[in-house]
Every structure is written in C-alpha cells, then in structure tokens.
Amino acid sequence: MSYQNLLLDIKDKIATVTINRPDKLNALNAATISELDAVFDQLKDDENVYVVILTGSGEKAFVAGADISELNKLDTISAKEFADRGQAVFNKIQNFDKPVIAAVNGFALGGGCELALACHIRLASDNAKFGQPEVNLGIIPGYGGTQRLTRLVNSGRAAEYILTGDMIDAKEAFRIGLANHVYPQAELLEKAMEMGKKIAGKGQQAIRLSLKAINAANEVSLRDGLKLEASLFALCCGTEDFKEGTSAFLEKRKPDFKNR
C-alpha cells in the first residue's frame, strides 16, 4: 500500500512509520489520520513486523498538532466527529498488540503530544518539546490528552500543562515520566531501533500478552487487572516459548523463541 503523508520502512522485524508533512511540521490533517489508521491495519497483519517506531519527518517536529487550517472550519457536529475519529485511531495504536515506540524528534504539540501519549513508550530527542497548547486556540484537547496525560503524569501536572498551554522541554518530560529517555537528536532513531530489536528478540507471545495486561491497568480496577494478569500469565505457560525460555535458562543457553 502506498501513502501520501507517511513513509514506511520495514527492516529487522521493525516497522518505522514517519509522518511526512515537514513543511507543515507534520500536522495531522484528516488524510494523515486516515493513513495512520490504514498503516496500523497493514502492520497488524504483517507477520514480519514485531515492533513499530513512530516518528516525524525533518529535524524540527514529531507532530505539531492537528492541522489548524482544518480545525478552523469545525462546527459542533463536525468537531464531535473529528474528535471521535482521532480518538478511534489513537485507541487503535494504544491497543495495538505489537509495541509502538514514539521517537519524538521535535515538537509534539496538541494532537502530536496525544499521539505520543497513545504509544506504549516515548523516547525523545534533546530538542523535543511536548505540550497541549489547545487553550491558546480556544479549545481543549480532543484526541485523548485530558485522559492520557492525566494518567501518565498526574492530575496536577496535567492541569498545569493543559490550562497554561506551556511547552514541556525534553529534560522536564524525562523528569515527569513523559519521556522514558532523552537522546541527542542524531542518535534518536538508532536508540529506538536498538530498543525495538531488544523487544523483537523476546518471545512475541509474552510481549503481546504483556501489552494487553499493561493496557488494562488504565481501564479496570486493581482487582480485575490482577485477575486478568493471572489469566494471561496462565496462557503464557501454555506456549512453546515458555517451555523454551525456561529450559534455555536451566540449560544455560540462549532461548530460541518461535513465537508460538
């Protein structure tokens, strides 16, 4: 499949999806949202892909937000559809059963911050700037920012960033847990690939079930989350990977996972 606003590169079991509208700082217009939807459908079915890296084209921006020229035309009805559509695509990313690593290579503002928040892991370049500046436009975040930022950092910090619209630099993003690591920009993709390869080298049944359990933690009570964890743990113990992983440890050799 070919895309107008995305670049797709698949190598060593890792798909790198690059949002490619650098002249608009990779702002998410409706066409790009549809392509993101489509590319994740494509990657879901690709048995050659174990991990996805999501990044932005150029050195300036990951994604500078929803496309404000499209936002400007919304009315109450179309705005509800707009938010529902973006949220559905970002939910697809969060619930993707392969790990999605955001390589945040510059501005991650508004929808860009929300896109990074929907990913499972965020790595940032030293020039990255996160933020939810929607109040400056007279709106609130609509692609999940009020919910995911609040859950990832805490409600006091999320309130500060959403109410002031202030940007969060890479150092602060790391300090508050919004970015897992910060790297010089030139090394960001290499580091994301390194992490992707490490994950791709594990048994993928365990990776997928880990993601399912981690995602549930945001949705269900502790009691139900623990029940789910026990069930998924039991499922793992029925896999060939489990036998291989534990046997390899006992035999002091490297496991050879078959992802079954």
Q: Report the residue from 96, 107, 161, 174 that binds ligand COA according to the rule CB under 6 A.
A: 107
Query: Strands of 168-169's sheet, edge to edge?
Result: 61-63, 107-109, 129-131, 168-169
Of the candidates 46, 17, 51, the one whose C-alpha atom is nearest the C-alpha of residue 195 is 51
Q: What pairs with residue 180 in β-bridges?
A: none
Q: Report the residue from 27, 123, 173, 179 that binds ligand COA according to the rule CB under 6 A.
A: 27
> Is 106 a residue that touches ligand COA (CB under 6 A)?
no
Taking the C-alpha atoms of residue 28 and residue 51, their distance in angstroms, rounded to an integer, is: 22
Q: Catalytic site residue 194?
A: no
The 8-class DSSP code of residue 28 comes to B
Of 123 and 128, which CB lies nearer to ligand COA in the complex structure?
128
The 8-class DSSP code of residue 66 comes to B
Q: What pairs with residue 7 in β-bridges?
A: 18
# binding residues, ligand COA (CB under 6 A) = 16
- The region of 47-55, 62-70, 173-181, 217-225 touching ligand COA under the rule CB under 6 A is 62-70
- The region of 10-18, 47-55, 130-138, 148-156 touching ligand COA under the rule CB under 6 A is 130-138
Q: Is 131 exposed, middle or buried (0-12, 13-18, 19+ CB in 10 A)?
A: buried
Of 109 and 199, which CB lies nearer to ligand COA in the complex structure?
109
Which residue among the candidates 59, 134, 187, 190 is catalytic per the annotation?
Answer: 134
Q: Report the residue from 19, 25, 168, 211 that binds ligand COA according to the rule CB under 6 A.
A: 25
In this structure, what are the phi and psi dihedrals at residue 101, rounded to the nearest 5 degrees?
A: -105, 125
Which residue among the candidates 47, 59, 114, 229 is catalytic per the annotation?
Answer: 114
> Is 110 a residue that touches ligand COA (CB under 6 A)?
yes
> Is 68 a residue that touches ligand COA (CB under 6 A)?
yes
Tell me the three state secondary structure of residue 98. Answer: coil
From residue 132 to residue 171, the character string flagging contacts with ligand COA as x (rule: CB under 6 A) and all else as - is -xx--x----------------------------------
Taking the C-alpha atoms of residue 41 and residue 119, their distance in angstroms, rounded to an integer, is: 15
| Distance from chain centroid for Cα 77 | 28
Binding region for ligand COA (CB under 6 A) = 24-25, 27, 64-69, 107, 109-111, 133-134, 137
Catalytic residue numbers, as ranges: 114, 134
